[in-house]
Amino acid sequence: MANVAVFGLGAMGYGIAQSILRAQHHVWGVDLDVSAVDRFQSAGGVTSDLEPGSLDAAVIVVLNADQTEDVLFGATGIALLMKPGAVVLGCATVPPDFARDMAARCKANQIHYLDAPISGGAAKAAAGQLSVMASGTGEAFEAARPILDAMADTVFELGDDAGAGSAMKAVNQMLAGIHIAAMAEAMTFGMTQGIAPADFLRVISKCAGTSWMLENRAPHIVDGDYTPHSSVTIWPKDLGIVRDIAQSAGFDAPITDTALAQYEKAIAMGLGAEDDAAIAKVYAAQAGLTLPRAKN
Amino acid sequence: MANVAVFGLGAMGYGIAQSILRAQHHVWGVDLDVSAVDRFQSAGGVTSDLEPGSLDAAVIVVLNADQTEDVLFGATGIALLMKPGAVVLGCATVPPDFARDMAARCKANQIHYLDAPISGGAAKAAAGQLSVMASGTGEAFEAARPILDAMADTVFELGDDAGAGSAMKAVNQMLAGIHIAAMAEAMTFGMTQGIAPADFLRVISKCAGTSWMLENRAPHIVDGDYTPHSSVTIWPKDLGIVRDIAQSAGFDAPITDTALAQYEKAIAMGLGAEDDAAIAKVYAAQAGLTLPRAKN
């Protein structure tokens, strides 16, 4: 049984913390939202304070690189709370260079850093069935193994360079973000030609035009349900990371840029907190279309 | 046993003609390419000339609307060769308004028109397992049923408006074309971050960023094999149709426009006759990347 802290008890982090708890570890849940911490402690999380030198592993499931750095090395940074040889799993979507920097600074503190961004959504997080795009030293993988076993059913081992996991995550987010926007563009285009969203979903999901994201998000539009399983705000952040990396590499990514602009329009329309399928509202507004409304 | 002519013996049409032949119909194969006609006749196609008033069904599997119109109503148009009550299956990707026009003109000639664009690729065409996005009158569906049974394993019945099938096909092509270009953009972006194309395929095909087209076309790039199963030239045509329909509807389709521009760059680079996965070469050229080469 390891001493594990999970930082960030949002939709993904809470599920990860639950999964690690189910694997019989001692788990501290940490979040600025006190109600989330209380809820996790009621579900079996450790209630005592973290003692210096006590943590075997820290799983950081915060929003971005700044928050990740703050958890590790900020004013109340946890690097000092960890045992020598302990491991940090960095799960946020961050630039590859940032992951490499964290790995170097952790190493200077005698702890391991596994670049470990995640994919799969809240339901898979709660079930311990995430996919992890992981890279880091053999020691980092070894120390992280019990945690990976608890939270994931697929671990892609992408080598010993701490940036490789984050690079693959950036590639995945690039496609996922494009595919959601393209789905919305195609569905609303179809509406201009008399194709109802439900027919779009029924037919295209069985044809060569389908994507994982189409099958996952198009039903939200068909049902008129924009409950934020994953919100619009994710995409300017993640596609912005992709754009920044691409620019640094001198790489033109015009489709990414175009999709990003559509998400920025959604934010400007006040849709940031809605499910990312709400990007369809950008197209509907432009073309004067009426999207399906929720039945209730 | 029906008398059926298949117009256009390219990758799709030849497979459709074979499939209809397997279903024990009399099948004429028609193509400007005499060698394709000879090959089909050797495989069991009818060798005699078509007699006026003899055809029960015509399956038109040509490149575009102009060729479809020419087959039906050109100088040697077949409308006069068909029995009253016979059916035309229009399988090319065409604008919905064109399909409606063909249906009206066929009706004036006492024949039925089924708007019947297809999806699935050459292998499924040869196996009689295509998907058909079909719309037309009940009489058109009834007359076409034996042919649909022979060539398809999935027929989406999209109502009695002859344009609905073509509209759905346009939506499908829009997404398929975007997804191929997005796959190439993401794979080459990954290369700038040290991700080998084979690793991209292995990981992303199992993650939320995947698409039908990614799983189908990314292997071509990994293998360095640009044998044209479906060529680059298809996309300026099909996405051009989408753009024209969108413009007529006052619909902005910025991701489609951006993908189309990438295909046009590929054409300008002389890649038109290669497999559409060659759009990756546009990105590789811009970023100075070396794509995998064929092993042989």
Query: CA-nearest residue of chain B to A242?
Result: B189
| pTM of the shown model | 0.93
Residues of chain A with Cβ-Cβ distance to B258 below 8 Å are 254-255, 257-258
pLDDT digits (tens, 9 = 90+) for A137-183: 999 999 999 999 999 999 999 999 999 999 999 999 999 999 999 99
Domains of chain A: 3-161 (3.40.50.720), 166-287 (1.10.1040.10)
**Which class for B121: exposed (0-12), middle (13-18), buried (19 or more C-beta within 10 A)?**
middle
Q: Please give the single-letter amino acid code of residue B156.
A: F
pLDDT digits (tens, 9 = 90+) for A170-219: 999 999 999 999 999 999 999 999 999 999 999 999 999 999 999 999 99
- CA nearest to A212, candidates B169, B206, B146: B206
Query: CA-nearest residue of chain B to A180?
Result: B209
User: What are the C-alpha distances in Å from B282 to residues A14, B170, B272, B277?
Assistant: 43, 24, 12, 10
Model pLDDT, residue B294: 82
In angstroms, what separates the C-alpha of B248 from chain A's closest C-alpha? 10
Residues of chain B with Cβ-Cβ distance to A286 below 8 Å are 251-252
Chain B 123-182, CB below 8 Å of chain A: which residues?
131, 133, 154, 156, 158, 161, 163-164, 167-168, 170-176, 178-179, 181-182
Cα-trace Rg, chain A: 20
CB of A185 within 8 Å of a chain B CB? The answer is: yes
Model pLDDT, residue A296: 60
**Which class for A46: exposed (0-12), middle (13-18), buried (19 or more C-beta within 10 A)?**
middle
Residue with tokens 């049409």: B13
Longest dimension (CA), chain B: 64
**Which residues on adjacent β-strands are paired with residue A155?**
A132
- CA nearest to B91, candidates B109, B72, B76, B110: B72
* pLDDT score of A258 more than 80: yes
- Cα B281 to chain centroid distance, Å, stands at 23
Q: What is the ipTM metric for this complex?
A: 0.93
Does an H or E element contain B292, and which?
none
Q: Please, which contacts does A131-135 make with residues 24 or more away whose CB atoms are closer than 8 Å?
A: A131/A155, A131/A156, A131/B206, A131/B207, A132/A91, A132/A156, A132/A165, A133/A158, A133/A165, A133/A166, A133/A168, A133/A169, A133/A172, A133/B203, A133/B207, A134/A158, A134/A165, A135/A159, A135/A160, A135/A161, A135/A162, A135/A163, A135/A164, A135/A165
Q: Please give the single-letter amino acid code of residue A136.
A: G
pLDDT band at B79 (very low <50, low <70, confident <90, very high): confident
Model pLDDT, residue B296: 60
Cα angle, residue A215 at apex, residues A167 and A126 outer, rounded to 5°: 65
Cβ distance B164 to A194 less than 8 Å, yes or no, reads yes
**What is the total residue count of chain B?**
296
Query: CA-nearest residue of chain B to A172?
Result: B209
* pLDDT score of B295 more than 80: no
In angstroms, what separates the C-alpha of A29 from chain B's closest C-alpha? 27
N-term to C-term CA, chain A? 46
Model pLDDT, residue A241: 94
Decide if A230 contacts A278 (C-beta within 8 A). Answer: no
Cβ distance B189 to A261 less than 8 Å, yes or no, reads no
Cβ distance A254 to B261 less than 8 Å, yes or no, reads yes
Dihedral angle sign, alpha carbons of residues B287, B289, B291, B296: positive
CB of A242 within 8 Å of a chain B CB? The answer is: yes
- Contacts of residue A44, defined as CB under 8 A and 6 or more positions apart, other chains included, come to A21, A27
* Angstrom distance (rounded) from CA A181 to CA A161: 32
For residue A147, what are its two tokens? 């945690």
Give the pLDDT mean for B169-181.
Answer: 98
* pLDDT score of A56 more than 90: yes
Model pLDDT, residue A229: 85
- CA nearest to A17, candidates A42, A39, A38, A45: A45
pLDDT digits (tens, 9 = 90+) for A68-110: 999 999 998 998 889 999 999 999 999 999 999 999 999 999 9
